[in-house]
């Protein structure tokens, strides 16, 4: 589950414009089975197109299993689309469907945030792209920016296993009879390329910190450059120290973060960390051209990751996530080119001096938001001292 393997083929997919045609083509070519996991399955043009492909596959005898998160389904999966999928032969399950806003419990934040698919055990998809149109964004601004990868080779083995296991767990929890094994056998996959890669998950049992540890390993080995793009950036002390240590040894560290406000509290709380990072010579670029939904990183143009995990408490401490980590210079260089293009054409730098001289009101807003988020995390008992023990970051 957490080992690098050779013999893989990993292809970068840029946003829905490249991801959905590749996904639908794989679904259309399915012979035996399709497994799909997503946080959001929206009833929009893209969601209906993917749904039609799944229904067509089921009609020709392919086993089609779709697992959606209960929270994401509540907000985006309409009853009409759900009924079409089910009557069309799709086996549809909801992960933690018990969503009651007036009954707040910490375990309800443990969502299925992974975006995974595999078809016939021969091709898989991993990334941050939900089944939703890129234009389905607040205010109908330019298309959402995100990334995914198509994978073949030995890396498919843990992808298949974890999808089967989570499906079986959900069926057991919902008292459904199941023919999916809780502990599936490992079926070997043939080599498909020359890339070295690993598939890593985060859950609340054996793999609680696997994605964070993989990130930290990449940061600690950096010698020239660290480039991170993430929609939500609110790291704990270990992650911040790793970034600051890298900058201290001469590594060029750049964070490409969201400029547009989606969730106000987290947006302003995250900005409370800017002062500490800027003081350590870490560059911060805020992407303003459209909504940034990416969760990717590149180190020294030879190590890269693409997945569903943001760098915040929700992803690192609560939800089920999945990332692919790749040790391959051509792949890492390709992703770096994309990110540098976003920086040059759609972002604005945060100047350290301007940040230090911002108004008292702006400072107060960020620190109040930071305090509220920190208090909420403590009340929910997530992270504990390991996440917060450094106290309040420098301004």
Task: Check residue 390 and give its pLDDT.
Answer: 47
Mean pLDDT, residues 105-117 taken together: 79
Indicate if the pLDDT at residue 351 is higher than 90: yes
Q: Look at the domain 5-201 and name its fold.
A: Endonuclease; Chain A (3.30.870)
Do residues 194 and 301 make contact, with C-beta atoms less than 8 angstroms apart? no
Catalytic residue among 52, 120, 281, 363: 120
* Fold: same for 5-201 and 210-388: yes
Instruction: Render pLDDT for 359-377 as a digit per residue (tens, 0 to 9).
Output: 888 888 888 888 887 777 7
Residue 380's pLDDT band (cuts 50, 70, 90): low
Question: In the chain, what are the domain boundaries?
Answer: 5-201, 210-388
**Of 235, 270, 240, 282, which Cα lies nearest the Cα of 383?**
235
Catalytic residue among 69, 295, 312, 328: 295
Do residues 169 and 184 make contact, with C-beta atoms less than 8 angstroms apart? no
Q: Is 295 a catalytic residue?
A: yes
Instruction: Render pLDDT for 238-265 as a digit per residue (tens, 0 to 9).
Output: 999 999 999 999 999 999 999 887 777 8
CA geometry: angle at 12 spanning 44 and 144, to 5°?
35
* DSSP-assigned beta bridge partners for residue 145: 292
Mean pLDDT, residues 135-147 taken together: 83
Q: Is 293 a catalytic residue?
A: yes
Q: Look at the domain 210-388 and name its fold.
A: Endonuclease; Chain A (3.30.870)
Instruction: Render pLDDT for 268-303 as a digit per residue (tens, 0 to 9).
Output: 888 889 999 999 999 999 999 999 999 999 999 999
Task: Check residue 230 and give its pLDDT.
Answer: 96
Catalytic residue among 134, 210, 300, 312: 300
Mean pLDDT, residues 121-144 taken together: 89
Catalytic residue among 94, 115, 118, 198: 115
Q: Is 120 a catalytic residue?
A: yes
Instruction: Render pLDDT for 34-72 as a digit per residue (tens, 0 to 9).
Output: 999 999 999 999 999 999 999 999 999 999 999 999 998
Catalytic residue among 118, 146, 293, 312: 293
Distance CA 217, CA 210 (A): 11
Q: Is 52 a catalytic residue?
A: no
Count of other CB atoms within 10 angstroms of residue 393: 15
- Tell me phi and psi for residue 167, to 5 degrees: -60, -45
- Tell me phi and psi for residue 40, to 5 degrees: -120, 135
Distance CA 146, CA 390 (A): 32
- Tell me phi and psi for residue 134, to 5 degrees: -60, -25
Can you tell me whether residue 13 is helix, strand or coil? Answer: strand
Query: Which DSSP letter does residue 137 get?
Result: S
Cα separation values, 343 from 85, 97, 127, 229, 395, Å: 40, 39, 21, 10, 25
Instruction: Render pLDDT for 69-103 as a digit per residue (tens, 0 to 9).
Output: 999 888 899 999 999 999 999 999 999 987 555 44
Query: Sign of torsion, CA 200 203 205 211?
Result: positive
Distance CA 166, CA 333 (A): 34
Cα separation values, 233 from 176, 181, 270, 304, Å: 38, 36, 6, 18
**Of 144, 149, 118, 117, which Cα lies nearest the Cα of 133?**
144
Helices (H), 88-205: 156-173
Cα separation values, 303 from 218, 219, 243, 300, 327, Å: 7, 10, 16, 7, 5
Catalytic residue among 43, 69, 94, 113: 113
């Amino acid at each position: 589950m957490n080992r690098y393997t050779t013999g893989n083929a990993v292809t970068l997919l840029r946003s829905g414009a490249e991801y959905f045609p590749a996904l639908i083509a794989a679904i259309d070519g399915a012979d035996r089975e399709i497994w799909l996991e997503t946080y959001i399955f929206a009833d929009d043009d893209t969601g209906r197109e993917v749904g039609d492909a799944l229904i067509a596959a089921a009609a020709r005898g392919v086993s089609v299993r779709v697992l959606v998160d209960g929270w994401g389904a509540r907000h985006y999966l309409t009853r009409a689309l759900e009924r079409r999928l089910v009557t069309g032969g799709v086996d549809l399950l909801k992960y933690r469907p018990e969503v009651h806003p007036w009954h707040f419990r910490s375990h309800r934040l443990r969502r299925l945030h992974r975006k995974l698919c595999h078809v016939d055990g021969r091709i898989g998809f991993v990334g941050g792209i939900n089944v939703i149109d890129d234009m389905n964004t607040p205010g109908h601004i330019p298309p959402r920016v995100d990334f995914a990868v198509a994978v073949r080779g030995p890396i498919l083995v843990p992808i298949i296993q974890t999808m089967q296991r989570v499906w079986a767990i959900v069926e057991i929890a919902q008292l459904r009879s199941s023919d999916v094994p809780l502990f599936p056998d490992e079926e070997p996959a043939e080599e498909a390329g020359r890339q070295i890669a690993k598939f890593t998950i985060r859950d609340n049992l054996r793999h609680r910190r696997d994605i964070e540890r993989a990130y930290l390993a990449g940061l600690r080995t950096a010698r020239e450059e660290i480039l991170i793009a993430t929609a939500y950036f609110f790291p704990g002390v270990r992650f911040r120290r790793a970034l600051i240590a890298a900058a201290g040894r001469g590594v060029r560290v750049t964070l490409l973060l969201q400029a547009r406000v989606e969730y106000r509290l987290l947006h302003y709380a995250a900005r409370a960390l800017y002062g500490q990072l800027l003081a350590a010579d870490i560059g911060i670029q805020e992407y303003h051209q459209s909504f940034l939904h990416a969760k990717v990183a590149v180190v020294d143009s030879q190590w890269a990751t693409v997945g569903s995990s943001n760098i915040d408490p929700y992803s690192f401490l609560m939800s089920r996530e999945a990332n692919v980590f790749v040790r391959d210079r051509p792949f890492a260089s390709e992703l770096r080119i994309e990110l540098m293009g976003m920086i040059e054409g759609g972002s604005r730098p945060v100047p350290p001096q301007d940040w230090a001289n911002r108004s008292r009101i702006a400072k107060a807003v960020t620190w109040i938001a930071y305090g509220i988020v920190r208090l909420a995390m403590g009340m929910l008992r997530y992270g504990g001292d390991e996440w917060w023990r450094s106290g309040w970051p420098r301004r």
